[in-house]
Structure 1
Amino acid sequence: MALNNPYAAYQQNAVTTASPGEVTLMLYNGCLKFIKQASLAMENKQIETKNTNIQKAQKIIRELMLTLNMDLEISKNMSVLYEYMNHRLTEANVKNDRTILTEVEGLVVEFRDTWRQVIQINRQQQHGQGGQA
């Protein structure tokens, strides 16, 4: 199928060649995409589409939870926040409440933007160390 669809082949290649940090960033962006699609579907009274997209966002959040190193205190804190977001998505789905989706979207944006900064700092440190060697 990827051979017939160049975009699908590109996406597959982007994921398989990405660093773990970049994959995490992709997960955050995917989660945001599904939350926005769910919100639009909710607005348009497309209940099945809303449900499907909320479930996709929840799967991503569960995947992010699985990647946490629970030996670290920050991971325990992040796990609580991921659990909260997951619960709020369920609530938004049941209540058809777009304000809850907006709340979760804001949290995911904060996580994503922070993660993006971590990747940039890490790249700068690697580049700086490489130049000193």
Structure 2
Amino acid sequence: MAITNPQQAYANNSVTTASPGELTLMLYNGCIKFIRYAEKAMKENNIEQKNINVQKAQAIIRELSITLKTDTDLGKNMLSLYEFLHERLVAANIKNDPAILKEVEEFVTEFRDTWKQVIQENRRIQQVGAGGRV
């Protein structure tokens, strides 16, 4: 089945050609996007869309948890944080509480920004190692 939508084709290509680090960054960005959609749906009292988008954010947090390497203290700590965020998303959904969504969004944004810095630093190191200039 051919993809006729150019935006969908671009998105599919972006995912299939992304490095593992870039995929993690995409997951963080997607989680933030769905949390914001859920916040908007709460404001509009659209319970169905709120639920759908909170569940999408939960699925991303679960995916981040599943793919996490937990053989280090950092990995174990991140797993605990992801479990906490998942529980907070459940609470936000049940209580219909935008403040809880905002709390989770702040955590995920911090993770995303830190991860982005790691990717940029790794690229810089690779360029130096390859004889490039910084």
TM-score by length of 2: 0.96
Q: Which runs of 4+ in 1 moved over 4 A?
A: none
Matches within 5 A, 1:1-133: 3-131=3-131
1:81 counterpart letter in structure 2: L
- The Cα offsets for residues 70-104 of structure 1, whole Å up to 9 and x where unpaired, read as 11110100000000000000000000000000000
1:49 counterpart letter in structure 2: Q
TM-superposed deviation, 1:3: 2.4
User: How far apart, CA to CA, are the structure 1 residues paired with 2:48 and 2:62?
Assistant: 21
SS in 2 for 1:131: coil
The count of corresponding residues between Structure 1 and Structure 2 is 132
Q: Percent identity?
A: 60
- RMSD, aligned α-carbons: 1.0
SS in 2 for 1:25: helix
TM-superposed deviation, 1:67: 1.2
User: How far apart, CA to CA, are the structure 1 residues paired with 2:7 and 2:55?
Assistant: 24
TM-score by length of 1: 0.97
Segments of structure 2 that go 5 or more residues without pairing to the other structure are none
TM-superposed deviation, 1:124: 0.4
